Structures are given as structure tokens and as C-alpha cells.
């Protein structure tokens, strides 16, 4: 247990938030900056909230070095609504799009897009249970595709792209829900980057969409108003009541990341944390990583013992030690340690200590 008797929470999402952010939110809760009210109670049209959302956007722009010709939107509906919004807005000319299927979420996105146009699987690792990331480029995609879609980090299978596919002039759309803000990215290589907040950004309820300006304004006549990116951009994410509290906490997370060295420092810490854990797994007799070394995620570390009953025992005994939510996704079993930005090195060290002890006791 740590300060405040908090556990180390290895959940895939919602997941840990940085402790200094939680403390700040606690301190601000009843009376935000002398306004006499909490952010939860505040009008989204108030000056105080306007400042919160503007600062959140400015800080995110600074952290990710987002070019001027991109808009930042704070939306609702989670990742799942983006599976629909992307095709509804971007299938604008040929109505064709090419998808890389690298896991459950990519497949869901692909299936949803199939309702709207001519969608092709351009690359897949499904036959190997998504244990690696396919390489593809310009030569593999349809030159007249309206966009190409990838999932940059596969939360369930513990894989991540370590390259940005070259799609030439065809806009690249990336679901970065589980690795946004974990390392620097060159935003200009993408048409859209989107991410649900509940892993590296803040509480569930807000979804970040970073979209190149020229890709907006193509939603069909029949598109429901909430699902048109342009409506949100034209109204600075205030077309309707935004998820105010989630945006405020996300803004505090952005400030915290800035104050702790930005994305270069974050990347360094994430590589150290994941490196330590993978090194231990690779050196152990008991645990195995099913994921190809070069495609391993820094955020979701998947491992197995090869014995389902032992996996269950591991998860239960870890929980008793304050190391919680270590079971793999219900679709694949085994174990998964999600070590997002807010997981401190001490949490990874505590996990490795426990793994060693468990290995000793279960030889």
C-alpha cells in the first residue's frame, strides 16, 4: 500500500491518475479558485470554465506540438463513438477506406466502418492472435482511399506500432486511446488522432480528437448533428454542454505532464518502466510474453504462465498485496499489467518483487 492506502492499479482503463493531480482536484473541489463552487456545478458558459477549456487545449497543443492547421475537440461518446464518427465524416470522395486490424478495438472500428462504405482490411495479424504488428505502406493501400485507419496501441494484446505507416497523400487516422501522451508523436503525419481519456488523459467521459482542418465539413446531410466534427470545431467544443469536470481534470493532467518534463521525459520514464518489466519476464522461467519483441507496448504488458489455474492464483495473490487489476482481458485471459503514464516506477518495482516471490513459491 502507498500513501492514503492506495493500491497500485494496473487496470487497462479507467486507470491511475497522477497523485498530485488528484490532490489538486481534491483541494479545488468545494471552491474552485475562489469561485465559491466546484467545477462540477459551474456553467460551461462561465468565464471560469472558458478559461479551463482554453488552457486545456493550449497545454495539449504545447505538449504534442500540434500544428496550427489542426483543431482540438473535446467530445463525448468514448472511443466507440469515434468508430462511427470517423467513417461518417471522412468517407467523403470514393467512400473507400483501408483498415489495419491489429486487435479487438481495431476490428470493432473496421466492422462499424463497413456500415458506411467500401472498407478493406489492408493488414492483419489476426491469424496469430494479434501478437505482432503488420508492416504496410503506400504500396499496400488503395490510392483512392479516403483514409487509412490504425490503432496505435492495442490495449488487449499489448502491441504497439513502432513506426508510422507511410500512406502518402491518403490521410492516416489513429486511435491513440491507450498510448496518447506516452511519447512524442509527429502530429503532422496524421489526418486524425483520437483518444478516449480514461487511460493517459483523465477520467472517462471526454474523448480528444485532433483533426486536420481540411478534413472537416464533409459529413453527409443525414449525419446527426452531434456526429459532425465541423459543428464541434465551429463551436469550440461547446455546441452542447461538454463533459466539464472530465475536461478540467484532463487539463490538470496536461499541466502535470508539462511540469514533469513533457513528453520526452515521459517517454524516457515509460521506456524504463516497461523495459524493466519485460527484461524480468524474458529472464524468468515461469512467465512468458506472447508478443513479438519489436512490437511490444510500453503501456500494456501482457504475460502468461501457460497454466490457467496458476494465472488465476497469481491475480488473486497479487490483489491481496495491493497490486490490483492484473488479469488479462476477458477475451484472452492470462495477465496484463497496464503501466500507463501515472503508474510510478515504485508500482512496477513492487510488481516485479511480487512476481519473483510468486515464481519462487510456484516452481
Ligand X SMILES: Cc1ncc(COP(=O)(O)O)c(C=O)c1O
Q: Does 78 contact ligand X by CB under 6 A?
A: yes
Residue 199 is among the residues annotated as catalytic for this protein: yes
Is the Cα torsion angle 84, 99, 204, 335 positive or negative in sign? Answer: positive
Q: Footprint of ligand X on residues 87-106 (CB under 6 A)? A: 105
> Binding pattern to ligand X, positions 170-199, x when CB under 6 A?
-----x-xx-----------------x---
Comparing CA positions, the residue from 199, 121, 206, 211 lying closest to residue 172 is 211
Catalytic: which of 98, 175, 228, 311?
Answer: 175
Total of residues contacting ligand X (CB under 6 A): 11
Residue 105 is among the residues annotated as catalytic for this protein: yes
Between CA 170 and CA 220 the distance in angstroms is 20
Catalytic: which of 59, 96, 98, 105?
Answer: 105
Residue 194 is among the residues annotated as catalytic for this protein: no
> Binding pattern to ligand X, positions 128-167, x when CB under 6 A?
-----------------------x---x------------
Q: Does 13 contact ligand X by CB under 6 A?
A: yes
Q: Does 11 contact ligand X by CB under 6 A?
A: no
Between CA 157 and CA 154 the distance in angstroms is 6
The least distance separating ligand X from the CB of residue 158, rounded to whole angstroms, comes to 11
Q: Where are the alpha helices (DSSP H) in the chain?
A: 19-28, 47-64, 78-90, 104-113, 229-234, 244-259, 262-283, 308-320, 345-361
Is the Cα torsion angle 61, 62, 64, 66 positive or negative in sign? Answer: positive
Q: Which of 72-80, 93-101, 161-169, 279-287 is the region at the interface with ligand X (rule: CB under 6 A)?
A: 72-80
Residue 307: other Cβ atoms inside 10 A: 12
Residue 361: other Cβ atoms inside 10 A: 9
Q: Does 248 contact ligand X by CB under 6 A?
A: no
Q: Which residues belong to the active site?
A: 105, 175, 199
Binding site for ligand X (CB under 6 A): 13, 78-80, 105, 151, 155, 175, 177-178, 196
Amino acid at each position: 500500500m502507498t500513501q492514503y492506502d492506495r493500491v497500485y492499479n494496473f487496470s487497462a482503463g479507467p486507470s491511475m491518475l497522477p497523485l498530485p493531480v488528484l490532490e489538486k482536484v481534491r483541494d479545488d473541489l468545494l471552491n474552485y479558485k475562489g469561485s465559491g463552487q466546484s467545477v462540477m456545478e459551474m456553467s460551461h458558459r462561465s468565464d471560469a470554465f472558458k478559461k479551463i477549456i482554453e488552457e486545456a487545449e493550449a497545454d495539449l497543443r504545447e505538449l504534442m506540438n500540434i500544428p496550427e492547421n489542426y483543431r482540438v475537440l473535446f467530445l463525448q461518446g468514448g472511443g466507440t463513438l469515434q468508430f462511427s464518427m470517423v467513417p461518417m465524416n471522412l468517407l467523403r470522395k470514393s467512400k473507400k477506406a483501408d483498415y489495419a486490424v491489429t486487435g479487438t478495438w481495431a476490428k470493432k472500428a473496421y466492422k462499424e466502418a463497413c456500415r458506411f462504405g467500401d472498407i478493406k482490411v489492408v493488414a492483419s495479424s489476426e491469424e496469430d492472435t494479434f501478437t505482432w504488428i503488420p508492416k504496410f505502406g503506400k504500396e499496400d493501400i488503395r490510392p483512392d482511399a479516403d483514409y487509412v485507419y490504425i490503432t496505435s496501441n492495442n490495449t488487449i494484446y499489448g502491441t504497439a506500432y513502432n513506426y508510422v505507416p507511410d500512406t502518402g497523400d491518403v490521410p492516416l487516422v489513429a486511435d491513440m486511446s491507450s498510448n496518447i501522451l506516452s511519447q512524442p508523436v509527429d502530429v503532422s503525419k496524421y489526418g486524425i488522432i483520437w483518444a478516449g481519456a480514461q487511460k493517459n488523459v483523465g477520467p472517462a467521459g471526454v474523448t480528444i480528437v485532433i483533426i486536420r482542418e481540411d478534413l472537416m465539413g464533409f459529413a453527409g446531410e443525414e449525419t446527426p448533428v452531434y456526429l459532425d466534427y465541423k459543428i464541434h470545431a465551429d463551436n469550440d467544443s461547446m455546441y452542447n454542454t461538454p463533459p466539464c469536470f472530465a475536461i478540467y481534470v484532463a487539463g490538470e493532467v496536461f499541466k502535470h505532464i508539462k511540469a514533469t518534463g513533457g513528453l520526452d521525459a515521459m517517454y524516457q520514464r515509460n521506456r524504463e518502466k516497461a523495459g524493466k518489466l519485460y527484461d524480468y519476464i524474458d529472464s524468468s522461467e515461469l512467465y512468458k510474453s506472447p508478443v513479438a519483441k519489436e512490437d511490444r507496448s510500453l503501456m500494456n504488458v501482457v504475460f502468461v504462465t501457460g497454466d490457467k489455474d496458476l494465472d488465476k492464483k497469481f491475480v488473486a495473490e497479487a490483489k491481496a498485496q495491493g497490486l490490483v487489476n492484473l488479469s488479462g482481458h476477458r477475451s484472452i485471459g492470462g495477465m496484463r499489467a497496464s503501466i500507463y503514464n501515472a503508474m510510478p516506477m515504485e508500482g512496477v518495482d513492487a510488481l516485479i518483487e511480487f512476481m519473483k516471490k510468486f515464481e519462487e513459491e510456484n516452481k
